[in-house]
Amino acid sequence: MARAPWIKARDKGDGIKLPAAFRLPRLGWDDARLPSFATALLHGSTLRLAVTGLSRAGKSVFITALVHDLLAFPRLPSRLPLFGALDDLAGRVTGVEVALPAVAEIQPFPFDRNLRAMAADPPRWPDGTRDVAEIAVDIRFRPRGFLHRRDAEATLRVVIVDYPGEWLLDLPMLDRDFAAWSADMLAMARQGPRAAAAADWLAFLATHPPTATHDALVAERAHELYRDYLLACRDLGMAYLQPGRFLQPGDWTDPGLLHFCPLPPGGGPGSLGAVMAGRFEAYKQAARARFFDRHFRRFDRQIVLVDVLQALHAGPAAFGDTTRALTEIAGAFRVGGGLLARLFGSRIGRVLYAATKADHVPAMQREHLRQLLANVLRAPILDADTRGADTAAMAIASVRCTVEDEAVLDGRPTPVVRGVPLTGFRQVKFFAGTIPIKPPPPDDRFWSRPFFAMPRFQPPRLDPDVNAGIGHVGLDEALDFLLADRLR
């Protein structure tokens, strides 16, 4: 029987061949994968990274270095060797650019101005920001997995939000009433180094009891003396200073929200005590509405920078103060039942605590610095782990301004660091002392040992070229924890 003209069997029995019009097109490997637009939709996202720090921890420098090194990463991945190392991120990031700000009413982070400061002759550290500022960076990358085409890309937009660390210290006071908060602050003001700083303020309160009739000038003067006391405490190295906007008011211009201070109990309607208690509550409501409700609800990740070395050198009182501040802040970041979740529905998924200025100690001491911070935060970190939070402690220097060296101390060669002091011209060697792994008790012999004054080193001359990057200690590890999981 004659075969149909469109079917032709091969002589060797190797199947049937259809005419070209009936054949399916030959599919290449990429044809079986997701189209590029699907990859972009699946993996493109926005991550809001909040950056803050306890007083003088160097957050402006951190953000500037972070952005600068990210911009250099596609061409110079060796600047950030641990950033996505396990996921071959260096081979998958195709470009990084600074993006236009999405929210016009928030001031832009002064990245270009900071670069100019650090590229000047001589280089200088950039000024700190005094209000909320943000900068956005777009990271283009090729996602992992056989489902994606070889040329498919996605974009992670990282919105970095900078805010004063002083404001973070308002968190622990948001669920307290005026009487309990005042009792705590007054007790602290009468102890240790704080007592001398608080003398004028406490003397003023002694002559103006809370039961006295409210007087606007008296309230304003009490506030000024209390604020001066907080500023003096900050100069002594103290960190637990509330309210935070007394030190860094930002855009607040309404004195009615600020003219209060802690008071002893007492006072009926119309009294100094009653009016200040009302202002305390108004302050909390305004802080919640203007910052925590407005910004914290949108944060995905948080890094808190801490100058642990300066706290150690300031003595046991300052170190204990810093420990309390960190512990209460860490408690507020807990996932599932923490203050942020309870008050603001916060969705912060990862929190990194970083001890800054790790370049002020030789390499063998940096792990001690990290362990000290981790042990200070041991209880809240363990609690966060049980609630499913990702929390870490690291030691970093976002801009490395020293090199390793050696000096002879007490007749023995000792590792030290060497750098140019802020007001000097020649490099000097510096030994910060032995860093303890655990917080020393107030009566420990550690505090009786002599310490060198903590120097301030000049920054290295920064190359403003975005392809150059800048030296650091641990910034790549911090970025790996904060961002790498969103670039897979």
φ/ψ of residue 314, rounded to 5: -80, -10
State residue 42's pLDDT score. 52
Tokens for 313, please give them.
Answer: 């050198």
Q: Contact 188/72 with Cβ under 8 angstroms? A: no
| Highest averaged pLDDT of the listed ranges 11-20, 60-69, 403-412, 461-470 | 60-69
- What would the mean pLDDT of 255-266 be, rounded to a whole number? 89
Residue 16 pLDDT greater than 50, yes or no: no
Q: What share of the chain has pLDDT > 70, as a percent?
A: 83
Residue 444 pLDDT greater than 50, yes or no: yes
Tokens for 380, please give them.
Answer: 């809240």
Helix (H) or strand (E) holding 16: strand 16-17
Please report which residue ranges of 44-90 form alpha helices under DSSP H: 59-72
- pLDDT tens, position by position, 397-406: 999 999 999 9
Helix (H) or strand (E) holding 414: strand 412-419
φ/ψ of residue 325, rounded to 5: -60, -45
d(CA 184, CA 239): 15
Among candidate residues 50, 57, 56, 52, the one with its CA nearest the CA of residue 397: 57
**Residue listed under structure tokens 């900071």:** 114
Q: Which amino acid is at 318?
A: A
State residue 289's pLDDT score. 82
Q: How far is CA 173 from the centre of its chain?
A: 20
- Residue 190: pLDDT band by 50, 70, 90 thresholds? very high
The mean pLDDT value of the chain amounts to 84
Q: Which amino acid is at 183?
A: A
d(CA 399, CA 459): 7
Q: In angstroms, how far is the first alpha carbon of the chain from the final one?
A: 61
- What would the mean pLDDT of 443-461 be, rounded to a whole number? 83
Tokens for 160, please give them.
Answer: 């970095």
State residue 292's pLDDT score. 75
Q: Contact 214/270 with Cβ under 8 angstroms? A: yes
Tokens for 279, please give them.
Answer: 């202002």
- pLDDT tens, position by position, 293-324: 777 777 889 999 999 999 999 899 999 999 99
Among candidate residues 28, 11, 54, 32, the one with its CA nearest the CA of residue 321: 54
Beta strands in 74-228 (DSSP E): 93-99, 107-108, 133-141, 154-162
d(CA 469, CA 462): 8
Residue 424 pLDDT greater than 90, yes or no: no
- pLDDT tens, position by position, 24-82: 444 444 544 544 544 444 555 899 999 988 878 899 999 999 999 999 999 999 999 99
φ/ψ of residue 139, rounded to 5: -110, 115
State residue 44's pLDDT score. 57
Residues 6+ apart with CB under 8 A from 115: 64, 68, 462, 464
- Residue 5: pLDDT band by 50, 70, 90 thresholds? very low
Integer CA distances (angstroms), 18 to 8, 14, 15, in order = 7, 13, 10
State residue 88's pLDDT score. 92
d(CA 245, CA 241): 10
Domains of the chain by range and CATH? 38-169+292-399+467-486 (3.40.50.300)
Residues 6+ apart with CB under 8 A from 27: none
